[in-house]
């Protein structure tokens, strides 16, 4: 497999450094350009933007892959929510699980919004990401019923505006 950096004049380390500085820290493209210039690397902010568009998804996939290999899953706090969507002219329910960092853990579409659907969604998410310590939900009764079946009913947190992350 050929390197994705093969047609670029800069080294892969410089590209990774520039993209990760832009992603990791709350910096603008011009601020990253200035920081790299202080290190002796003279590139334009448009080059950083191009690298970010081109290599950002690849770096994110590498980070996710390393998380899975190390067994690190974000299981501190999950935010669960469901929304109505139309798929093929039919109303369906889209269930989402988001961790405390805002990363989407699981997305699942069902025709019903009952305990069986919530149970299937929770089992699928827990199989992939482990058991959460706390689960923030809205006041939908299906969540409580499904969590009681699984045995994590005490981990549910319900409250007004707590679930705005999902």
Quick: pLDDT tens for 25-59: 889 999 999 999 999 999 999 999 999 999 999 99
pLDDT-derived band at 69 (thresholds 50, 70, 90) equals low
Q: Which domains, from first to last, does the chain contain?
A: 12-69 (no CATH), 77-158 (3.30.420.10)
Quick: pLDDT tens for 137-157: 988 899 999 999 999 888 888
What pLDDT is stored for residue 50 in this prediction? 95
Backbone angles phi, psi at 104, to 5 degrees: -75, 120
What pLDDT is stored for residue 166 in this prediction? 59
Model confidence, pTM: 0.60
Q: With contact defined as beta carbons under 8 Å apart, do 85 and 109 qualify?
A: yes
Identify the sign of the CA torsion 48, 54, 57, 60.
Answer: negative
What pLDDT is stored for residue 74 in this prediction? 62
Residue 97: closest CA among 127, 72, 68 = 127
């Amino acid at each position: 497999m050929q390197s994705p950096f093969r047609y670029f004049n800069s080294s892969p380390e410089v590209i990774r450094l520039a993209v990760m500085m832009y992603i990791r820290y709350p910096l603008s493209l011009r601020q990253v350009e200035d920081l790299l210039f202080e290190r002796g690397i003279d590139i334009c902010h448009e080059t950083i933007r191009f690298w970010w568009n081109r290599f950002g998804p690849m770096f994110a996939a590498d980070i996710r892959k390393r998380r899975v290999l190390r067994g690190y899953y974000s299981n501190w706090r999950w935010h669960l929510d469901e929304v109505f969507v139309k798929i093929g002219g039919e109303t369906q329910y889209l269930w989402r699980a988001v961790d405390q960092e805002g990363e989407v853990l699981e997305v699942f579409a069902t025709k019903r919004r009952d305990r069986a659907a919530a149970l299937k969604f929770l089992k699928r998410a827990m199989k992939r990401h482990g058991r959460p310590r706390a689960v923030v939900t809205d006041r939908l009764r299906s969540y409580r019923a499904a969590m009681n079946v699984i045995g994590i009913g005490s981990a549910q947190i319900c409250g007004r505006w707590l679930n705005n992350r999902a």
